[in-house]
Amino acid sequence: MDTIENLLERLEQLNDIGASLSRERDITPLLERILLAAKALTNADGGTIYRVTEDGHYLRFEIVRTDSLQIALGGTTGKPITFPNLPLRTEAGAPNDSLVAAHCAFHCRTVNVADAYTDPAFDFSGTRRFDLTTGYRSKSFLTVPMKDHAGDVIGVLQLINARAPGGTEVVPFSLSDQSLVESLASQAAIALTNRNLISQLENLFESLIQLINLAIDEKSHYTGGHCQRVPALTLMLADTVAQTTEGPMADFRMDERDRYELKIASLLHDCGKITTPVHVVDKATKMQTLYDRIGLIDTRFEVLKRDAEIAALRAQLALRPCVDAAAEARIDEAAQAERAAMDQDRDFLRHSNVGTEAMDESAMERILRIASGRRWRNPAGESVPFLDEDEFENLSIRTGTLTQSERATINYHIISTIKMLEHLPWPKHLKRVPEFAGGHHERMDGKGYPKGLKRDEMSVQARIMGIADIFEALTASDRPYKKGMTLSQAIEIMKRFKASGHIDPDLFDIFLKERVYAQYAQEFLEPWQIDDVMP
């Protein structure tokens, strides 16, 4: 019989269990805690947690424990439960009252059985077969429904074989046992419901983030993969750094909430690109806007070649009726030379338009000569420079395909990202999302953007994301203006970035030493990109 002191002690234990349940974030460990706590409160040898299936027709085994038989299935053990689901109704559609767990769930009532072998109300034939196979003796059962906040049964907690205090004798579950387990089941159901609700909200939130990324992807298929790969690489590097036990990053640690915060930040790190004009994001060549305007320049060359040919023919006709074969030949040769020069200039501009190589001074001067030295007659009949100011500006881009104003437009996406994220009412455990997401274009030397932060002004997470963003960009094979680099090429560039103060040297050292790049490559890079990397 329970003493007052024993009851108070068990009540205090129940309160402690309730507090620990409310702190658990994952469903599986939460269910396991519930069962182990119930067994501890009642000194039960075994127990099972069932959950009502999504369709509401069955009870599914989630956790099974029997101490004396050393049975531990489901939960964190990783051992699957092969027992079939228990139907809540018979084939005729009536309540399945023969099974104690189904009866408990269907009628939402606790069932306390002193001895399964003598109880006439329920079918324990399956229990007897289990006992016959294992040599066990199932006797006392306490089966308690788990109800959510709306009063719906979401599961069943069943305990087997209460043991007398200080011994192994199997005794019935007492009324105090039943009361305590019912209280625990109520707390557990609330904790489980809350966890489910939080999980559903988190899934909804992440789905909304994916919706934003999908919108960016639909607007430009060159960025959709980036929005998926950067978070993956960010978490790979962050997990590796958090496991480091020596060196400058030995003190960096992340718990589950920290990791989730970084995951959300990395998923949203480029959400501001939804405001960036698609013709800038997708600008594959220097002359591209809604289309590649190099075709217009091709047409102008053809006009000039036609004009040169017409001028040559007119000059030849001017020699008539006096025939001068030598003079005609010289005119024809000059015209051919002019057409050849035009073809060379056209090929040069087409090559320059691609933007895969840096423009040196001689190339810049040649573009200037073509722009101002050649003239053509526009549709209005006016003689104008061969290239207008906008065309000259674009073809004179030294590296890449973006003008300064277009690059500013692209760079503005990070300001848009920060503005968008800072307007959201983040809960406490996600407060740093705007800072993490908004800092991945900063540099360690303060020459980055948008705030010009230096290394000691940035979080470790933002610095990690900066490395992930750059490495993904270097190796991405779906960009409009370049093909992806091999691992060795990308790493060599990253080494130069480390030396120049662009990226965090300590984090990059871990990236190299722990071969995070290789882990990423196996999942995301093409086979031809994976080559040997020099240490």
Q: What is the mean pLDDT of residues 420-443?
A: 91
Q: What pLDDT is attached to residue 17?
A: 57
Q: What is the mean pLDDT of residues 175-185?
A: 86
Q: What pLDDT is attached to residue 322?
A: 60
Q: What pLDDT is attached to residue 378?
A: 77
Separation between Cα atoms, residue 206 and residue 197, nearest integer Å: 14
Query: Which position has the higher pLDDT, 149 or 394?
Result: 394
Q: What pLDDT is attached to residue 275?
A: 72
CATH of domain 4-198: 3.30.450.40
Residue 299 phi/psi, 5-degree rounding, is: -65, -40
Mind listing the pLDDT tens digit for each residue in 489-498?
999 999 999 9
Q: What pLDDT is attached to residue 101?
A: 95
- pTM, entire model: 0.62
Q: What is the mean pLDDT of residues 96-112?
A: 94
Query: Which position has the higher pLDDT, 518 or 407?
Result: 518
Residue 3 pLDDT > 60: no
Separation between Cα atoms, residue 423 and residue 270, nearest integer Å: 16
Query: Which position has the higher pLDDT, 310 or 510?
Result: 510
Q: What pLDDT is attached to residue 291?
A: 60
Which amino acid appears at position 402 of this protein? Answer: L
Do residues 51 and 155 lie in contact, with contact meaning Cβ atoms separated by under 8 Å? yes
DSSP-based three-state secondary structure for 362? helix
Q: What pLDDT is attached to residue 279?
A: 62
DSSP string, 375-443: EEE-TTS-EEESS-HHHHHHHT-SSSS--HHHHHHHHHHHHHHHHHHHTS---GGGTTHHHHHHTTT--
Residue 434 pLDDT > 80: yes
Q: What pLDDT is attached to residue 88?
A: 94
Residue 91 pLDDT > 70: yes
DSSP 89: B
Residue 222 pLDDT > 60: no
Q: What pLDDT is attached to residue 277?
A: 67
Mind listing the pLDDT tens digit for each residue in 285-306?
766 766 677 777 777 777 778 7
Averaged pLDDT score across all residues of the chain: 85
- In the chain, ranges of CATH 1.10.3210.10 domains: 220-276+406-529
Most confident of 112-116, 370-374, 526-530: 112-116
Most confident of 74-78, 211-215, 319-323: 74-78
Strands 375-377 and 170-171: unpaired
- pLDDT-derived band at 10, boundaries 50, 70, 90: low
Mind listing the pLDDT tens digit for each residue in 225-249?
777 899 999 999 999 999 999 999 9
| Per-residue three-class SS string for 244-295 | CCCCCCCCCCCCHHHHHHHHHHHHCCCHHHHHCCHHHHCCCCCCECCCECHH
CATH of domain 220-276+406-529: 1.10.3210.10
Least confident of 77-81, 155-159, 275-279, 479-483: 479-483
Residue 377 pLDDT > 90: no
Q: What pLDDT is attached to residue 405?
A: 76
- In the chain, ranges of CATH 3.30.450.40 domains: 4-198
Q: What is the mean pLDDT of residues 17-36?
A: 70
256 burial (CB, 10 Å; 0-12 / 13-18 / 19+) is exposed
Q: What pLDDT is attached to residue 22?
A: 57
Residue 159 pLDDT > 80: yes
Residue 50 pLDDT > 90: yes
Buried b (16+ CB within 10 A) or exposed e, 206-245: eeebeebbeebbebbebbbbbbebbbbbbbbbbebbeebe
Residue 2 pLDDT > 90: no
DSSP-based three-state secondary structure for 447? coil
